[in-house]
Amino acid sequence: MKKILVLGEIRDGELRNVSLEAVAAARKAVNDGEVVGILFGNKASEFASEMIKHGVDRMIVSEQEELEQYTTDAYKQACLQLLEDEKPDGMLLCHTSSGKDLAPRIAAALKTGLVSDVTDIEGEGEDLVFTRPIYSGKAFEQKSMNSELMLATIRPNNIPALKKDESREGDVSSVTFDIKDLRTVIKDVVKKTSGGIDLSEAKVIVAGGRGVKSEEGFKPLEELAEVLGGAVGASRGACDAEYCDYSLQIGQTGKVVTPDLYIAAGLSGAIQHLAGMSSSKIIVAINKDPEAPIFEVADYGIVGDLFEVIPLLTEQFKKE
């Protein structure tokens, strides 16, 4: 494999970490070949050197207006033009909401294959093997591709980013695409929640379920998450009961997360919830019911009332 393009992502003015993880995946796949990074949006030039220092050889950036916010049409047109110009052997995207939307459209337009939600890449050249979860994370399959263009999306928090090398340098070229006939134009973005750590990239998640009992009941979880530098998540039970927003929902019909530490408080561990978090590296369950299914996947279990246990944990972590 000689050349791979990596489409990084900027969100809320920050380069998403999964962009750097996709660069690491590309480096694994391409070995001594070329990794070309791509960034769109008005901060693209600013973050180009960050991508280079994490393993990219050359950057292509575009700060044109149509690419400031993600839209399927504009990003698809820009990526197809890049693929036509660069003729790479492969392209990696982030397995985020926009990457999940864009990658299949590129694949369909080019009539090529796609491996989505990749958690590891091994081998070289034509023997490249992609690992991805199936059956809601209960098993993993390994796939290889025989299409001319290797197209894949990389799941956040699985392939570690390469160590930053301050001495790395590379060309940054700025391009303008011929983007036309857009069916969607974003005029304004109204955010429901502001700030906070992105759930899908968080290293620590404190998740609450119906056992949290109210919106107010999430407060101790928020405090613990803050002390641990993590994010708050929820079961669908808690979202349905209107204790929190659906943007926090983890599971089969919510977000899929793989943090280093997942603290599950007052949630039973329904199969649909496990689908979104069972690949977490360490799972701690807090539940009053010793028979709760969450204990079957937990590395550590605390049988007790979350309103007693969580403040104790917060207090202890504050001391350390």
138 is a site residue for ligand FAD (CB under 6 A): no
Distance from first CA to last CA of the chain, Å, rounded?
Answer: 47
306 is a site residue for ligand FAD (CB under 6 A): yes
301 is a site residue for ligand FAD (CB under 6 A): no
Residue of the chain from 41, 55, 254, 301 that contacts ligand FAD (CB under 6 A): 254
285 is a site residue for ligand FAD (CB under 6 A): no
CA–CA distance, 293 with 267 (Å, rounded to integer): 9
User: CB under 6 A: which stretch of 93-101, 137-145, 150-158, 247-255 binds ligand FAD?
Assistant: 247-255
Residue of the chain from 97, 142, 173, 253 that contacts ligand FAD (CB under 6 A): 253
Nearer to ligand FAD, 16 or 210 (CB): 210
Q: How far is the CB of 235 from ligand FAD (least distance, A)?
A: 3
247 is a site residue for ligand FAD (CB under 6 A): no
Q: Which amino acid is at 232?
A: V
Contact code string over 200-239 relative to ligand FAD, x by CB under 6 A? ---------xxx-----------------------xxxx-
The strands making up 150-154's β-sheet, listed across from edge to edge, are: 115-118, 150-154, 90-94, 3-7, 34-40, 58-62, 171-174
Only one residue has tokens 């590129």, namely 106
Residue of the chain from 288, 296, 299, 312 that contacts ligand FAD (CB under 6 A): 288
Residue of the chain from 289, 296, 299, 315 that contacts ligand FAD (CB under 6 A): 289
280 is a site residue for ligand FAD (CB under 6 A): no
Instruction: Kindly list the residues in this chain that would bind ligand FAD in the complex (CB under 6 A).
Output: 209-211, 235-238, 249, 251-254, 266-268, 270, 272-273, 276, 286-289, 292, 305-307
